[in-house]
Amino acid sequence: MKYLALILLLICPALGQDKHPIDVQFDKDIDKNSSTHGMVAAYANALKSWDKELNKHYQKLMAGLDATGKANLKGSQRAWIVYRDKEIHNIVEYYAKVEGTMFRTISAAARTNLTKNRALSLSYMADFVEIRKK
């Protein structure tokens, strides 16, 4: 039964969670300054926070894996970093060619969401490893 609940949370994580504290802080930052500059700065702050969150969950997950799992995760994370860097380059190049200040914000959001999504993915895996050990 505990696995069923976890599977449902993995499929639809919003069912079991309140808004993440990083997202709450992001909303507060936007409320304070909703200019283009303010939104880009809010995304930059969120990106830093999501990167810390990603590293925290990566370490937590690594601690719960056997040697094979650790090697797999390490390889996966290295591949993700290569993907992330290439995708960020693509995002920056694409939106740099589009006119309008709103695209600076869209670019910042896209870059932030790459790290956010990976952090959440690692978080779900780490939680699953923790539940399995109980």
Q: Note the pLDDT tens digit of each residue in 19-62.
A: 999 999 999 999 999 999 999 999 999 999 999 999 999 999 99
Identify the CATH class of 19-133: mainly alpha
Per DSSP, the residues of 97-114 read TS-STHHHHHHHHHHHHH
- Asked if residue 122 lies in contact with residue 54, where contact means CB atoms within 8 angstroms, the answer is yes
Distance CA 113, CA 119 (A): 10
Please answer whether residues 95 and 105 qualify as being in contact, where contact means their C-beta atoms are separated by less than 8 angstroms: no
- pLDDT tens-place string over residues 69-96: 999 999 999 999 999 999 999 999 999 8
Residue boundaries of the structural domains of the chain:
19-133
- In eight-state DSSP terms, residue 119 is H
Separation of CA 6 from chain center = 19
Place 14 in a pLDDT band, splitting at 50, 70 and 90: low
Q: What is the pTM of this model?
A: 0.83
Of residues 92 and 4, more confidence is placed in 92
